[in-house]
C-alpha cells in the first residue's frame, strides 16, 4: 500500500460519529479526544520512510504525558524546546539519555534545570542557538554534549510566524557558525549541528524545503567531524478536506538526497505530522442567532480551548456530528469570549447546526491543548484518550477552584 493514500491522513469524516457523540455526553464539552492508535500509525509510517535517520518527537506539538509515553514506547526519542518540556518528558517515563534540549533564548531557570539534569545524565544533548548561550552554559559548569543551531536564512512553512529558518530569533547566523565550532570543540563535547526551517511543509513546499536543507547540509560537510546533523521537523498535514497529504516517501527521499555527502547520522524531529490528525475537539452548540450578515452559531469552546484560528488564521475543518445529514447553511461558529477573534470560521457551509448539537473540530492534536489558556477565566478542557476499544481520561477538566488555586496557595493577602 502506498504511503500517499487515505491512510496517510485521518480526515474528520473518518472519526466514529456515534462514539464522539457518546464521549461528549459522558465527559462533557469542550472535550479533546486523542486517538493513540492513530499516533502509533503515524509514527510507524514516518519512521518507515525515514529508516535511515534518527527520529525524535518534537514535544512542543503536544506535551501531554499520555502522548509522549505512546510515542516513546513506539520508539521515538524526544526533543524538548524548554525545561518544562524536559520535566514533562521525564514524568512520562523518558530516560534522560533519550532527550535532546533545544534552547531558544533560555531563561536562567531553564538552563539551571537542564544542567542539573545533565550532571546526573551526561548523555543529555543540549542545543544552543546563540554564542551567549554557550557562555551561560560554561558558566554553569556544563562541558557535555553540545550542538549548535544554524539559521540558514531560508524559511518554509504554512505561515510567516512559523518560518523559523529566516527568523533572526532562531539559531546562529549561517556565516558565523563555522567560526563558532572550533572554540566550541575546546569547551564542550561538540556533537552536531541543528536546524529547523519551518512548519507545515506539504508536498508543494518540498522544493523550497530542499533549498534550505541543502544549504545546512553543505555547512555540515564543510565543518565535518560531528556525530549528527539534526534537520528538525516541519512536516505538515492537510487541514482542509480537499488538500492531499504530504508524500512522506518523497520528503524522505529529498532529505536522503541532500544529506548524501554528510558523514554523520541524520536526525529529524517530527511533531505535527505525528499528532495533528489524531486529535478532535468536541464542542456543543448553545446559541443560534440569525442576523442580516450571517447565521451565528455559538458554542462552548472558544479560543481558550483552540487558539490557532485566532493566532495563525488557521483553517480547521468543522463537522456537525449530530446533524451531519442536514442541508448545509453558511454559518459563523464562535465561542463565549468577549473578543471578535473568538471565531472558528466565518460564513462556512456546515450541515445546519441547531442548539445542543455536537460539533467536532479536526486536526487539533498539534498545538491544540498545549496552547489552551484561562483567558476570561475559562477552565481548560478535559481530554480523553481512545486506544482501540478502551477510553480513559488523560487530563481532567479544570474547575473554577483551579482558576484561583495558585492565588489561594500564595502567601500574600487573599
Please report the DSSP string for 124-176 in residue order. -EEEESSHHHHHHHHHTT--SEEEEEEE-S--EESSGGG-GGG-TTSSEEHHH
pLDDT mean over 41-55: 97
CA distance to 9, 273, 322, per residue, from 1 (Å): 14, 19, 33
With bands split at pLDDT 50, 70 and 90, how would you rate the model's confidence at 167?
low
Q: What is the pLDDT of residue 203?
A: 85
With bands split at pLDDT 50, 70 and 90, how would you rate the model's confidence at 6?
very low
Q: What is the pLDDT of residue 107?
A: 96
Set out the domains of the chain in order of their start, with CATH numbers. Answer: 50-269 (3.20.20.10), 277-407 (2.40.37.10)
Q: What is the pLDDT of residue 293?
A: 86
What is the per-residue pLDDT across 177-211, written as a single tens digit (0 to 9) for each?
Answer: 999 999 999 999 999 999 988 778 888 888 888 98
- Whether residue 160 has pLDDT greater than 60: no
| 321 close to 14: Cβ distance less than 8 angstroms | no
Q: Catalytic: 345?
A: no
What is the per-residue pLDDT across 232-286, written as a single tens digit (0 to 9) for each?
Answer: 999 999 999 999 999 999 999 999 999 999 999 999 999 999 999 999 999 999 9
What residues contact 222, with CB distance under 8 A and at least 6 apart? 178
What is the per-residue pLDDT across 289-346, written as a single tens digit (0 to 9) for each?
Answer: 999 889 999 999 999 999 999 999 999 999 999 999 999 999 999 999 999 999 999 9
Q: What is the pLDDT of residue 1?
A: 32
Q: What is the phi/psi pair of residue 140, to 5°? A: -90, 5
209: nearest Cα among 268, 278, 275: 268
215: nearest Cα among 157, 156, 150: 150
The chain-wide mean pLDDT, for the chain, equals 93
Percent of the chain at pLDDT > 90 equals 86
Predicted TM-score (pTM) of this structure: 0.93
* Active-site annotation holder among 1, 168, 338, 410: 338
- Whether residue 170 has pLDDT greater than 90: no
With bands split at pLDDT 50, 70 and 90, how would you rate the model's confidence at 374?
very high
What 3-state DSSP class applies to 80?
A: strand
Amino acid at each position: 500500500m502506498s504511503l500517499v493514500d487515505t491512510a496517510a491522513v485521518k480526515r474528520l469524516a473518518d472519526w466514529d460519529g456515534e462514539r464522539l457523540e457518546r464521549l461528549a455526553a459522558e465527559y462533557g464539552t469542550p472535550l479533546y479526544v486523542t486517538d493513540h492508535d492513530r499516533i502509533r500509525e503515524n509514527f510507524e509510517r514516518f519512521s518507515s520512510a525515514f529508516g535511515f535517520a534518527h527520529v525524535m518527537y518534537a514535544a512542543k506539538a503536544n506535551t501531554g504525558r499520555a502522548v509522549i509515553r505512546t510515542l516513546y514506547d513506539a520508539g521515538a526519542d524526544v526533543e524538548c524546546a524548554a525545561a518544562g518540556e524536559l520535566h514533562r518528558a521525564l514524568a512520562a517515563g523518558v530516560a534522560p539519555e533519550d532527550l535532546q534540549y533545544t534552547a531558544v533564548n533560555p531563561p536562567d531557570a531553564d538552563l539551571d534545570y537542564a544542567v542539573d539534569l545533565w550532571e546526573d545524565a551526561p548523555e543529555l544533548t543540549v542545543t544552543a542557538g546563540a554564542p551567549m548561550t554557550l557562555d551561560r552554559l560554561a558558566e554553569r559548569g556544563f562541558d557535555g554534549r553540545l550542538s549548535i543551531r544554524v539559521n540558514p536564512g531560508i524559511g518554509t512553512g504554512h505561515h510567516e510566524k512559523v518560518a523559523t529558518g529566516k527568523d533572526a530569533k532562531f539559531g546562529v547566523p549561517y556565516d558565523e557558525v563555522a567560526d563558532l565550532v572550533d572554540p566550541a570543540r575546546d569547551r564542550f563535547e561538540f556533537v552536531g549541528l541543528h536546524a529547523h526551517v519551518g512548519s507545515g511543509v506539504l508536498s508543494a513546499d518540498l522544493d523550497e524545503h530542499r533549498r534550505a536543507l541543502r544549504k545546512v547540509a553543505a555547512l555540515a560537510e564543510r565543518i565535518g567531524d560531528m556525530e549528527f546533523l539534526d534537520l528538525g521537523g516541519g512536516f505538515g498535514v492537510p487541514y482542509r478536506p480537499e488538500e492531499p497529504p504530504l508524500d512522506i516517501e518523497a520528503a524522505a527521499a529529498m532529505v536522503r538526497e541532500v544529506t548524501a555527502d554528510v558523514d554523520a547520522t541524520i536526525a529529524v524531529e517530527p511533531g505535527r505530522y505525528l499528532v495533528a490528525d489524531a486529535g478532535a475537539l468536541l464542542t456543543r452548540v448553545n446559541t443560534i442567532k440569525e442576523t442580516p450578515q450571517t447565521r451565528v452559531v455559538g458554542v462552548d469552546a472558544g479560543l481558550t480551548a483552540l487558539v490557532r484560528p485566532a493566532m495563525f488564521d488557521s483553517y480547521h475543518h468543522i463537522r456537525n456530528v449530530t446533524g451531519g445529514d442536514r442541508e448545509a447553511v453558511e454559518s459563523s461558529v464562535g465561542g463565549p469570549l468577549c473578543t471578535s477573534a473568538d471565531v472558528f470560521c466565518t460564513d462556512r457551509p456546515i450541515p445546519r447546526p441547531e442548539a445542543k448539537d455536537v460539533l467536532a473540530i479536526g486536526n487539533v492534536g498539534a498545538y491544540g491543548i498545549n496552547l489552551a489558556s484561562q483567558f476570561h477565566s475559562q477552565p481548560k478542557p478535559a481530554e480523553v484518550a481512545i486506544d482501540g476499544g478502551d477510553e480513559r481520561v488523560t487530563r481532567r477538566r479544570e474547575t473554577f477552584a483551579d482558576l484561583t488555586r495558585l492565588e489561594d496557595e500564595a502567601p500574600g493577602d487573599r
